[in-house]
Structure 1
Amino acid sequence: MKTRVLVVDDEAPIQRFLRPALLASGYEALSAETGAQALRLIATAAPDVIVLDLGLPDMDGKDVLVEARKFSKSPIIVLSARDQETEKIAALDLGADDYVEKPFAIGEFLARLRAALRHAAPDHAPALRYEAEGVVADLDKRRVTRDGQSLKLTPKEFDLLTVLVRHAGRVVTHRQILAAVWGPAHADDTQYLRVFVGQLRAKIEPNPDVPRLILTEPGIGYRLWTPEAA
């Protein structure tokens, strides 16, 4: 049975652009142009993944997201032409799994789609091991190496890396990281987070000035690079 993808967007060019790409990649493509139509299809057609534009003619995409999350656990990838960082952060905090900013390249979009489906697989458990660019992080053993050499991470640096590894390939917002590592009272201390990200990059990145593993999503948060997304 083909994986079913619902694209919710009222822009005909986006639908014409995505549908053939999805079909060529072996997916079944469904489409909706309004929030109401999207919610009906989510309830009746049970798509495996939902691609959701925030700007819909009848309702805000974030409201669709909230309603969909009441009865659907399917991964949701937000399409955003909005340049306000708060909009993207709000969508992620409301339950979106990822976002793609318009305009976008089809290769990156399909990679994000595959990553969302992998994380939604029934047998998927949070990652306990990460391996890329010579860096190996074994969360179970609390051991991190680079090119075979052990790295000494502080407890907070290790906790920060743990959050990123468990969400590898996906955007994790500043608030999500801060709340997980330092607690809800520090959810707005983004400058504090930047310092620790810098310290962690200095230890695991081949060139901390040009990071390849811990990628910045400007104004939003961070994403741990994975080979699958290359």
Structure 2
Amino acid sequence: MKYLLYLSLIILLISCEARIDNNKRALFSTTVLDGSNNPLENVEVVVYSGFYSFDFQSASFTKFSDSNEDFILGSGITDSNGEVSFLMLVNTDEQTSFSLTSIDYPRRNVSISNGNYASTLEYNIPTQILKQSSIVNLNFSNTTGVTDVFNAIITFESLNCSQYTEDGITTDVVCEEREFLPFNQSASDTFIDIETVYPSAMTVEYIDATGAIITEQFMITNATENYVVQF
């Protein structure tokens, strides 16, 4: 039984590794700008494929390498025009990701589908925007004396994005993340700190005691923001 377990683990690890076509090279290119559409120089762009393993105890897949230790397919540095291009290995699996790293900006990760690029071997990625990091301090303050417990959905811009492409045309780039937060569970106010980027917007939505949907939007324009949601 132990032998079969080890054999299954080995087979699974092999099957989960990136499948590289040694006979092909693809051209990766993109442009990186800041939030004001100015070109960003010296941004490191790394294309990679993650490795995963299966946890038999929890019956789930888990990463056994950090993002910066994933299998690297290629890399390059943006020039003074914010442009970068380089040859990369071809990962024949469905998903590939790339990261944008700069000393002045938080790292951004973007996942892409290989099916839209593998046939032409040209990964011509749409312009990427790097934004500054921001910490938003949200305070949920009870000003009405209501005793109900509410559940907020906080939507904000994430550092990680997914790019959706159809027939070689990018249809959508999603950089959205959600935080689910119960509040008014005690007499004291509820506080939460959320890491996002600026400029961007944050939305807080919940259903109040009357059944009405309450939506508040906050603009994120600084490295630190403080907002109060009164209920």
> TM-score scaled by structure 2?
0.23
Structure ID, larger Rg: 2
For CA contacts below 8 A with separation 6 or more, give which structure has more relative contact order.
Answer: 2
Structure 1 or 2: larger helix share?
1
Structure 1 or 2: larger strand share?
2
> TM-score scaled by structure 1?
0.23
